[in-house]
Amino acid sequence: MELCVYGASSSAIGAAYLAAGEALGREMARRGHGLVFGGGAQGMMGAVARGMTAGGGRILGVAPTFFQVDGVLYEHCTDFLYTETMRQRKQAMEDRSDGFIMTPGGIGTYEEFFEILTLKQLGRHAKPIAVFNVAGYFDDLLRMLETTVREGFMERACLDLCRVFTEPEPLLDYLETDSRPVPSLDRLKRI
């Protein structure tokens, strides 16, 4: 599988996050998966890529041309695809991936995750989505999503379109075996 990983590009994050990212990358490589990611050399992106490199895995970096600044992009990608815009970048990552993983990150990571989850909810793809909840990073976000369901702003079925994990092995097991069909758009008539 080619797995798209969303995550932080910040170099200011804690060592526990970086170690978890590298462990995820090593396990992906060990299982023969390829990495599709935003091409960053730092943060969670860089950590996962370093794990993939250590495990001898395939890496496709995807970034807009304006990111070509010294030290920003990971230098050891197997392949690199440059786009003109961030929107083209997200589309290229989506098109080349068989599943998606959100690792800890900031607003860009949230935006990527919520777009891919929304597209699945709308039946535009049936690819599995996993959240790697390292050190409880996403606990507050998950509580917010539960509130969103409880208050009637979102159906529970939307939350069922992704799964949350704290370890790489069960996360990858899920991505490798999830085969649920594309959700039906008939339910949109009830909105």
Q: What is the pLDDT of residues 114-139, one digit of tens each?
A: 999 999 999 999 999 999 999 999 99
Residue with tokens 């379109």: 161
Q: And the tokens for 67?
A: 């990111």
- The per-residue pLDDT for range 59-87, each reduced to its tens digit, is 999 999 998 887 889 999 999 999 999 99
The encoded tokens of residue 70 equal 């010294």
* Interacting residues of 54 by C-beta distance below 8 A, sequence separation 6+: 22, 25, 26, 29
For residue 122, CA distances in Å to 110, 140, 158, 188 come to 18, 25, 10, 8
pLDDT of 181 reads 72
Please give the pLDDT value at position 61. Answer: 97
184 secondary structure, DSSP code: P
C-alpha closest to that of 92 among 8, 172, 4? 4
Q: Which amino acid appears at position 152 of this protein?
A: G
Three-state secondary-structure class, residue 81: strand
Pair 133, 105: CB distance under 8 Å = no
pLDDT tens-digit series, residues 135-185: 999 999 999 999 999 999 999 999 999 999 999 999 999 999 997 776 666
pTM score, whole prediction: 0.94
